[in-house]
Amino acid sequence: MIIGCDLNDGENSDTYNIMLNNVFSMVDSGPAGICTLECYNNSNNPKIDFLFNCGTSIDATKSKVLQVDISDHRPVMAYIND
């Protein structure tokens, strides 16, 4: 299972922890600590867009936030191993 979402909340928030530790134990597929919200206006804004997975192999070391400013959010990309 893979879930991509805008939590409207940052890493280590209550919402984030629910995704990690609720009915399905999920993993944050990374990258950690990289801004996704209005990065072009404020580099101190948080990461609020996430990819979570459960039972799937995702190489979090290759995940990244794409430097594309077509919205107020930047997309998160990850490699799924097969």
Look at residue 8 and tell me if it is in a domain. Answer: yes
Which runs of E-coded beta strand occur in 1-82?
2-6, 27-28, 49-53, 58-65, 76-80
Look at residue 82 in the predicted model and tell me its pLDDT.
Answer: 59
Give the pTM.
0.80
User: DSSP letters of 31-47?
Assistant: -TT---BSTTT-TTPPP
Whether the pLDDT of residue 49 is over 80: the answer is yes
Look at residue 17 and tell me if it is in a domain. Answer: yes
Whether the pLDDT of residue 47 is over 70: the answer is yes
Report d(CA 19, CA 3) in Å as an integer.
10
**Residue 23, domain extent:** 1-56
In the structure encoding, which two tokens stand for residue 15, read together?
């919402």
Look at residue 76 and tell me if it is in a domain. Answer: no
Tell me which of 55 and 60 has the higher pLDDT: 55
Count of C-beta atoms within a 10 Å radius of residue 25: 11
